Amino acid sequence: SSTGSRTRSDHFRTRPLMTFPLFSAPEIEASRRLAYTANAIDRQSENRSDDAVTTALADPRTRLLLLGDGRVWLRKTEAGFDPWYERAEAEALSARLDAAVLLGWDDRGPVVAATGGIDAEALPPEVKAIDYRSVTVQGLIDQAALRALAQAGALSAWHATHAFCGRCGKPTEMR
């Protein structure tokens, strides 16, 4: 234009589309920086039988995450917080192992999530029920445990809201 003003099309032609050259892209893809991505748990869903949870709970290597009301139960240790429980520890906290969910296997063994069976306010002093967001934002547990927590929290929420079949209304069965 003769007045020196730029048109809208001029603006888009002169504005760079990327903030870095294509071959100088960051090495880590942006979603990999999120705490809930790159879960190393192998679900092995194609190899499971109906008794997979029972079998996993019988394995002495099994580690459990205990959840309830959008919070994870963390045990306070000298090193920080520990989200993992052995079966006997989970039973002592009245975890509902009859409704446990097998998340899968990692290099240390089976990983299971269960709902805590006692009120969060009645937990022993060394165990704290902390909401998922606070755990994430404050970096209270390591990345591998955080990824397992994301999977456990999502499955726990799904089971809590899908107790009945949306088609026939009958109670759903976990298997």
Per residue in 90-129, pLDDT (tens digit) is: 999 999 999 999 999 999 999 999 999 999 999 999 999 9
Output the pLDDT for position 22.
55
- In the chain, what is the straight-line distance between the N-terminal and C-terminal CA atoms, in Å? 70
Per residue in 29-39, pLDDT (tens digit) is: 565 556 566 78
- Rg, Å, the chain Cα set: 23
The pair phi, psi for residue 97, each rounded to 5°, is -70, -20
- The answer to whether 123 and 69 have CB atoms below 8 angstroms apart is no
- Poorest-confidence range of 16-20, 155-159, 169-173? 16-20
Q: How confident is the model at residue 173 (pLDDT cuts 50, 70, 90)?
A: confident
- In this structure, what token pair is assigned to residue 104? 């899968």
Per residue in 46-65, pLDDT (tens digit) is: 889 999 999 999 999 999 99
Helix (H) or strand (E) holding 150, with range, is helix 143-161
CA distances from 4 to 10, 11, 23, 118, 155 (A): 12, 13, 36, 72, 59
Alpha-carbon torsion (134, 160, 58, 55), positive or negative: negative
